[in-house]
Amino acid sequence: MHRVVVLALDGVYPFELGIPQRVFGTAPDLYEVLTCAVEGHAVRTSADFTISTQHGPELLATADTVVVPPYASAPDSARLPPQVADAFRLIPAGARVVSICTGAFALAAAGLLDGRRVTTHWNQAARFSALFPRVTLDAEVLFVDDGDILTSAGAVSGVDVCLHLIRKDHGSRLANHVARRCVVPPWRDGGQAQYIEQPVPEPSAAGTSATREWALERLAEPLTLTDLAAHARMSLRTFARRFQDEAGISPGRWLTQQRVGRARELLESSDLPVELVAHQVGFATAASLRQHLHAAIGVSPQAYRHTFRAAAAPAQVTSRRSVTSPATRTTTAT
């Protein structure tokens, strides 16, 4: 049983506080989710109510994964209150630490993010970089997986990163099941750019969503920007601009992401040779698949398949109390 401990700091956002229980709690035979507070058991939220927890900070010492949701005073200082700093010192060296939204401010103030690539809410990116210049901030992605430290962007990105962890631990089949139970997509396309404040397109303006659906059904084909623009009945320039506005990334990068995602599903769920997987998702050769998969997550197709086959076995459940290290570490997620 993998223990997830959620640290509720003063001013915690109630919605994000509940995400770990909602997502990990959908697999109760594999994850135990508990919540703790730094001082006493009553925690002020960012709303007009307080919450009561059953555990104090000592619970952190038993965690396999620690999740820090956002809290109202996060952007105010590069230093943690002494009692919060003391609580962070209780986290075991082998535990994963995850932040949701501005929870990354607490991790950075605790010194956990120096030299790391991280993300947080796009609206707080400038403030974060000013307070923590030794941290490399990427404000364009929904979450960053840096092995034992994972950071996510605003609100629902907390769902994304929790589903990602389930996928790492137990494979896509369970992650997809949990996503369906929570009525959320198992993987969201694009990054934070699509959510940054920008002018809303005119209601009469054609969108690119239908073309994206069309392309997803034809990933094995050698699709080009011209093909996509023709399907959308737009000029190349208009289509590329509108696609970037809606999806947050270029059409070419989006196609590569979809092909890599589909390849990961096939590597996890089938015994198809790597060459055949490559052809079924639209990469010309196995070498091309290896290149793109390594660029996306830092491992080869064989290593990825081995990791998720191992994760699917009950004996491979990662726990600090019974540790089995995964074969590889995902270093980047966008």
- CA distances 87 to 58, 74, 111, 320, Å, are 8, 16, 13, 18
The mean pLDDT value for 202-211 works out to 70
Q: What is the pLDDT of residues 221-237, one digit of tens each?
A: 999 999 999 999 999 99
Q: What is the pLDDT of residues 145-162, one digit of tens each?
A: 999 999 999 888 999 999
pLDDT the model gives residue 229: 94
With both helix axes pointing from N to C terminus, report the angle between 301-312 and 286-297 in degrees, rounded to the nearest 10.
60
Q: What is the pLDDT of residues 262-288, one digit of tens each?
A: 998 899 888 999 999 999 999 999 999
- CA distances 112 to 98, 106, 129, 149, 216, Å, are 11, 9, 15, 8, 39
Closest CA to 132 of 109, 165, 161, 100: 109
Alpha-carbon gap, residue 241 to 40, rounded angstroms: 52
Half-sphere exposure of 49 (CA within 13 A, CB side): 4
% of the chain at pLDDT higher than 90: 63
Alpha-carbon gap, residue 213 to 320, rounded angstroms: 42
Residue given tokens 């075991």 in the structure block: 92
